[in-house]
Amino acid sequence: MSSISVPGTEVVAQFRIADVIAKKRDGLTLSAQEIRHVVKATMTGQAQDSQLGALLMAIRLQGMNPEETMTLTKEMVASGGVLEWPEEWRGLLVDKHSTGGVGDKVSLPLAPALAACGCKVPMISGRGLGHTGGTLDKLESVRGFSSQQNPEQMLEILRSVGCCIVGQSKNLVPADKIFYEMRDVTATVDSLPLITASIMSKKMAESLSALILDVKFGAAAQSPTIQEAKHLAHSLVNVGVSMGIPTIALITNMDTPIGRCIGNSLEVIEALECLEGGGHEDLRELVLHTGGYLLWLCGQADSETQGVEKIANVLRNGSALQCFRKMMEAQGVEPDIARTLGSSSELGKTSHVEELKVPKTGTVELIQARPIAEILNALGAGRKKATDEINHSVGAELLVRVGQRVEKGVSWIRIHYEKPLLQDIQRQTLQDALCISEKPTFIPEPLIRDVIYAECKKGENGDAVCREREIN
């Protein structure tokens, strides 16, 4: 006689949370059953906040091996629902995740460009916190846009448009929300296995065919050095391919802002410039190559080069822009507004616009992203805590580029603000962010410094055996 296993009725070994904490504190490896117990205890409220905080700190100090990280990711996915898609979309479902940067509006033109190439893009994004911007905040610069779409609504938008950009629903990876909030108050946000599990659990819940990760390094990034960024990228890629999702990570520099605009409504306008076939070179570089690798990864292009050509074509012929407009209308923007969105759109005006001048003649060697973002956040463009309100119109336009020769007295940045007013000390901080040298003009290094992927083959038992590689 066969038997049916009913979820929640299995006999599970009992563990004490204190014993699990002690084991990780001493640098030992947690079993899959112990990790499962912790996640379930967290979801049912049986784990005290103090216990979860202690365990997170033990993980932050002692780390986790790849198997532990993989198990934690799987259990976080299992804490909620998983998105389900029509069978005919198999191989077409793609997404991208960035570890966060200044002026990073890549998702806005990328999602509709991929949709215009025939992909389905169920992009789950977040809000800005600290000095990094949030994709949802940028889109909410457009009146009427709603990031709250349930799975049924997402399915319908993907059917009709091909892409949507939404917030995380309560039923997707709820354990991650609890873990993340606890990490935020226990100084464990920078733990590599916890970062990996947080990012990848949400992507696993999307039931993707392919995933690309933009792992940033530099003064304005989560990973200060390229070595740390590569370490994180390898961890993310390992989890992705081991769970059956073809995954690539780009290692990109985040010292200077991406593009020429920083701030929510200004970044939407710049994204629209890209969707119209123009835009700043480094924004186009990231959109083209991120999209090109994804098309190759999911089998919609024979090579990354062919993928880049396909993305460039849909940006050039206007089909990506049409997808963006349709997505905005499908997510609540009034049809008359959505159908006329373009780089000339007026998405928000501020009562104060001020330009700062170049202090001396020379070559722009660096424009430091982090201090600019921090000043804009203080002026209302960002948040210090998740409940803060933001002013979507506050932002800055860069009027010069790295590598460019500039003359003393020309304007180099334009600041848009309301209240609070820009203070003299903030003006000086902004001026210090512009680094002028005597060197001759130069072409900046490409933003993409490395590409990390994994080659996978089936082992004797049918499981994927993956070997990480770097494309130099």
Catalytic residue among 23, 97, 138, 370: 97
Catalytic residue among 107, 125, 169, 198: 198
To the query of whether residue 260 is one of the catalytic residues in this protein, the response is no
| β-strand partners of 163 | 121
The backbone torsions φ and ψ at residue 165, rounded to the nearest 5 degrees and listed phi first, read -125, 110
To the query of whether residue 104 is one of the catalytic residues in this protein, the response is no
To the query of whether residue 97 is one of the catalytic residues in this protein, the response is yes
Helix ranges (H only) for 14-97 are 17-25, 32-44, 49-62, 66-78
Instruction: Assess contact for 94 and 203: CB atoms under 8 A.
Output: no
d(CA 2, CA 238): 37
Q: What is the 3-state secondary structure (H, E, C) of 137-172?
A: HHHCCCCCCCCCCCHHHHHHHHHHCCEEEECCCCCC
User: CB-based contacts of 321: which residues, under 8 Å, 6+ apart?
Assistant: 112, 272, 275, 276, 315, 342
To the query of whether residue 198 is one of the catalytic residues in this protein, the response is yes
Catalytic residue among 176, 214, 255, 282: 176
Catalytic residue among 37, 96, 202, 370: 202
- Residue 384 gets which letter from DSSP? S
Q: What value, to the nearest 5°, has the Cα angle with vertex 78 and ends 75 and 82?
A: 140
To the query of whether residue 310 is one of the catalytic residues in this protein, the response is no
Residues 33-67 as b or e (16 or more Cβ within 10 Å = b): ebbbbbbbbbbeeebeeebbbbbbbbbbebebeee
Catalytic residue among 36, 96, 127, 183: 183
Residues labelled catalytic: 97, 176, 183, 198, 202
